[in-house]
Amino acid sequence: MPDLRFTEQPLSDWMRTDAADSEIVISSRVRIARNLQHLPFPMLATNQQSEEVLSKLTDVLGYEDVGRFGTFHIVKMADTDELDKKVLVEKHLISPNLASESRNGAALINEDESVSIMINEEDHLRIQCLYPGCQVKEAWQNATAIDDAFEAHLDYAFDDERGYLTSCPTNVGTGLRASVMMHLPALVMTHQINRILTAVSQVGLTVRGIYGEGSEAIGNLFQISNQITLGQTEEEIIENLHGVVLQIIEHERAARSRLMNESMLRITDRIMRSFGILSYAAVVESKEAAQRLSDIRLGVDLGILKNPSIQVLNELNVMTQPGFLQKKFGEVLNAGERDMYRAKLIREQLSTD
């Protein structure tokens, strides 16, 4: 049986610590894509070849220099039921692609869930490091150290001109994707968000939803990440992202100040209405829950609400997702039932915090 510790609790341990700018930056993530030399990329690999990749990568865990990064637990997709895989996606520990389409796919997850190494996803190896708040530099330092430890025992696919070779051409070069998850309600409310996001796209960055490429930005949560992996060093990519994020933080803070100065009654009414609806509603759809939880988070950040805590709001962001709802209540739920249980769960959390 697979180790299901990672699907039992909604909040990863790494999210329980305070960090800089965490009222706006929910999390920072760095992902490094690598492939092994002389083996086909996962989409072209036979079952035997993907098994060989899995064996090589799990064997590396036995080396002392890799072991210093802590204990990793192997979660094989073939041994994990669909509901647990959905929860792992909702907690950002694996990608939707690994959950649904991988052959001999697996994830190596450390104790506090801050490191997740996906095997046989789009590439043979994807090292992901997660940190709370605006800590993209720290996430990069940890990810590259883990990458160096793995590379000491593996023969990576590398070209002198193109850099690290990856399944998707957009990752060729450094193989690096760095991103931050930002809560930007004031920029949305003051109608500045489109201008900001347009400016972001002009400096080599892109904006995605909470589950990455192709996903929708809901609850005023936006994932800002680098778009270019070739022609820049890893350090340049990280510095560019970090600098832009700091500017967006300042714009969001200025927009929040403007709301408080010019629209105090209106913003307070909106926040209190969302708190009241979620405190008493019998049915809440997923998008409405995300939007109203965003309002409540803003209310806490602005000092309009004393409760709930940010930790409870972080938990609710995961607990209200379809997979975790079904996991918590122990049954398969249709859309209507999920809306009912979502409302029940939110009511309970808001009344006890």
Q: What is the pLDDT of residues 20-51, one digit of tens each?
A: 899 999 999 999 999 999 999 999 999 999 99
- The answer to the question of whether 243 is labelled as a binding residue is no
Structure tokens at 254: 């200025």
Average per-residue pLDDT in the chain?
91
The CA-based angle 174-166-217, given to 5 degrees, is 80
Structure tokens at 84: 């647990």
> Is the CB of residue 134 less than 8 Å from the CB of residue 28?
yes
> Is the CB of residue 342 less than 8 Å from the CB of residue 286?
yes
| Domain 5-254, CATH | 3.30.590.10
- The answer to the question of whether 126 is labelled as a binding residue is yes
Identity (one letter) of the amino acid at 220? N
Q: Residue 325 and residue 87: Cα distance in Å, rounded?
A: 9
- The answer to the question of whether 77 is labelled as a binding residue is no
How confident is the model over 344-349, as a mean pLDDT?
94
- The answer to the question of whether 103 is labelled as a binding residue is no
pLDDT (tens digit per residue) in 255-296: 999 999 999 999 999 999 999 999 999 999 999 999 999 999
Any idea where the domains of the chain sit in the sequence? 5-254, 263-352
What is the structure's pLDDT at 330?
A: 85
- The answer to the question of whether 208 is labelled as a binding residue is yes
> Does position 340 have pLDDT exceeding 90, yes or no?
yes
> Does position 216 have pLDDT exceeding 90, yes or no?
no
What is the structure's pLDDT at 214?
A: 47
- The answer to the question of whether 212 is labelled as a binding residue is yes
- The answer to the question of whether 30 is labelled as a binding residue is yes
Terminal CA-CA length for the chain: 35
- The answer to the question of whether 351 is labelled as a binding residue is no
The predicted model scores a pTM of 0.91
- The answer to the question of whether 27 is labelled as a binding residue is yes
Q: Residue 86 and residue 247: Cα distance in Å, rounded?
A: 34
| Percent of the chain clearing pLDDT 70 (strictly above) | 96
How confident is the model over 240-244, as a mean pLDDT?
95
What is the structure's pLDDT at 331?
A: 85
Q: Residue 245 and residue 243: Cα distance in Å, rounded?
A: 5
What is the structure's pLDDT at 88?
A: 94
